Amino acid sequence: MAYSIKDMVNKKARFVSGHRMCAGCGAPPIVRTVLRTLKEDDNALITSATGCLEVSSCIYPYTSWGNASFIHSAFENAGATISGASAAYTALKRRGKISKNTKFIAFGGDGGTLDIGFQALSGAMERGHDITYVCYDNGGYMNTGTQRSSSTPHFADTTTTPAGSKIPGKVQMRKDLTEIMAKHNIPYVAQTAAIGNQKDLYEKAEKAIYTEGPTYMSVLSPCPRGWGYPTDDLLLMNKLAVDTCFWPLYEIENGVYRITYKPAKKLPVEEFLKMQKRFKHLFKEENRWMIDQLQTEVDKKWDYLLKQEEFTNSLNK
């Protein structure tokens, strides 16, 4: 279906105002856009792993989950919750006890997805349930004090990897769950970003939800508190992440790679880094080598994606 911003904004919202998410957070526009791809007549059952989104959107007796069924999952089991609900629905539909179409969508931050919830997610994907899992990736355990996660970028300063004279921030490279999910041989995997890439996010979410079988999306979700940027720079943070290729936009459909955005002028990664307090130590003269290393890592991943796109498309000609 062709993207139409007019049609999108005129749909009834299934994630509504009144939540307590921080100003300048990427998660609310991600969730709102993903859920707006649902057809008007389709039911939605949504679960969210414990994290920023969950604790801020359903503070009893209030909820921001309008026109949808919502299950609060524990930190570690959103994948199991959504796959179990999908399996129950399939059994009931087979017996003729349910007729209306329902879509099953899980949301989780990177802590509850790449780390604590990885086993449940991997199992759900391998079993082949008809579900969509969306990771709003802000690169840390922001809800509990800005601790490092396996998605925290290399050299980032966090409360558990404080940059100083002993260590230069997080010493490990970030885990690439988009590629790990692709290796599960599921029909659709995508990487996209929050606000500023609305068309890309909308079209990938629609494809993920309406592709039969398990699908996965990694969505960059900037965090002003954890990253250290002014709340009104959410759009700029997304733009710089994408234009430096720190966060490439691409999809993998039935094993075929497609890069959905190629910057006309690829910016150096330091343009993205210098906007964030968590990377300020990189700009000391003695630490410039860290920027160079990050640039090498970004360039290597971008080159890999270009080659994968060329190779997988050549196999399908």
pLDDT score for 1: 56
Percent of the chain with pLDDT over 70: 98
Q: E strands along 138-291, which residues?
A: 188-193, 215-220, 250-253, 256-259
d(CA 103, CA 87): 12
Sign of the CA dihedral with 116 first, then 120, 125, and 131 last:
negative
The string of DSSP codes covering 183-216 is: TTT-SEEEEEESTT-HHHHHHHHHHHHTSSS-EE
Which domains does the chain show, CATH number per domain? 5-315 (3.40.50.970)
Inter-CA distances, 251 with 190, 266, 268, 308, Å:
4, 19, 23, 11
Query: How open is the CA angle 163-167-169, to the nearest 5 degrees?
Result: 40
pLDDT at 60 > cutoff 80? yes
- Mean pLDDT value across residues 191-215: 93
How far does the chain reach from its first CA to its final CA, in angstroms?
A: 24
Of the listed ranges 11-15, 25-29, 34-38, 232-236, the least confidently predicted one is: 11-15
Query: Mean per-residue pLDDT for 20-27?
Result: 90
